[in-house]
Structure 1
Amino acid sequence: MEYITKLIPPDIGYVIQKVDIGQRDKVDQAIWMDNPSGKFTCASAFQVLRKRQPESPIWRCIWNKINPFKMAFISWRIIKKKMPMYDRIKNFSNESDPMCICCNDPKEESMLHVFIEGELAKKVWEFFGDSLGIKIQNQTIQARYGNKKYYEAKIYYEVAQHVKGIMNKKGYLRDNWSRICSSMEAHKAVLTSFPVVWSKPLVNTIKINTDGSNMVLCNKAGIGGIARNSRGDIIMAFAKAVQFCSINSAEIQAASFGINWLNHNDINNGIIEVDSILVVKWLDGEYSIPWEFLKEIEALKRIIDKRRIKVQHCFRKANTVADSLAKFGSNTQFSFIANLYYTMQEIPRQARGAVRMDKAQLANFRIRTRRRT
Structure 2
Amino acid sequence: MLAFRNLWRCQNQISIISQNPVRLLLKNYHNKEPVPVSWEKPEIGWAKLNFDGSSKGRAGKASIGGVIRNHKAEFLMGYAESIGRANSTIAELTALRRGLELVLENGWSHVWLEGDAKTLVEIIVKRRQVRCAEVQKHVSHINSIIPELNSCIVSHIYREGNRTADKLAKMGHYLEKPQVWLNPPEEVLPLVLEDAEGKIFFRRR
Which TM bucket (shorter chain)? Answer: 0.7 to 0.9
CA contact (8 A) 2:79 2:180 kept: yes
Distance 2:181 2:14 in 1: 39
Amino acid at match of 1:365: F
**CA root-mean-square deviation:** 2.5
CA contact (8 A) 1:258 1:272 kept: no
Which residue pairs with 1:290 in the alignment?
A: 131
1:204 paired with 2:45, answer yes
Give the alignment of 1:244-259 within 5 angstroms. Answer: 244-259=85-100
1:318 paired with 2:158, answer no
> Which of residues 36, 40, 51 in structure 2 aligns to 1:195?
36
Which residue pairs with 1:301 in the alignment?
A: 143
CA drift at 1:294:
1.3
SS at match of 1:243: strand
Give the alignment of 1:82-161 within 5 angstroms. Answer: none
Which residue pairs with 1:363 in the alignment?
A: 200
Amino acid at match of 1:291: C
CA drift at 1:348:
4.0
Deviations 1:47-106 (A, max 9, x none): xxxxxxxxxxxxxxxxxxxxxxxxxxxxxxxxxxxxxxxxxxxxxxxxxxxxxxxxxxxx
CA drift at 1:220:
2.2
CA drift at 1:295:
2.1
Distance 1:274 1:309 in 2: 14
Show structure 2 runs of 5+ residues with no match.
Answer: 1-6, 16-31
Distance 2:52 2:128 in 1: 20
Deviations 1:116-162 (A, max 9, x none): xxxxxxxxxxxxxxxxxxxxxxxxxxxxxxxxxxxxxxxxxxxxxxx
Amino acid at match of 2:110: N
CA contact (8 A) 1:207 1:227 kept: yes
Task: From the CA coordinates, give the structure whose radius of gyration is larger.
Answer: 1
> Which of residues 307, 314, 339 in structure 1 aligns to 2:179?
339
Which residue pairs with 2:28 in the alignment?
A: none
Which residue pairs with 1:236 in the alignment?
A: 77
1:281 paired with 2:122, answer yes
Amino acid at match of 1:366: R
SS at match of 1:270: strand
CA contact (8 A) 2:49 2:66 kept: yes
Higher relative contact order (CA 8 A, sep 6+): 2
CA contact (8 A) 1:197 1:363 kept: yes
Structure 1 residue runs of 4 or more that deviate by more than 3 Å after TM superposition: 35-39
Amino acid at match of 2:112: I
Higher strand fraction (1 or 2): 2
Deviations 1:192-225 (A, max 9, x none): 5332111100001000100000122993211011
Distance 1:38 1:285 in 2: 12
CA contact (8 A) 1:280 1:313 kept: yes
CA drift at 1:286:
4.7
Which residue pairs with 1:354 in the alignment?
A: 191
Higher helix fraction (1 or 2): 1
CA drift at 1:244:
1.6
CA contact (8 A) 2:64 2:169 kept: yes
Report the identity percentage. Answer: 25
CA drift at 1:290:
3.5
> Which of residues 153, 170, 175 in structure 2 aligns to 1:327?
170
CA distance 1:302–1:219, change in 2 (3 Å):
closer
Between 321-330 and 280-289, the greater mean CA deviation after superposition: 280-289
CA contact (8 A) 1:304 1:310 kept: no
Distance 2:59 2:138 in 1: 26
SS at match of 1:201: coil
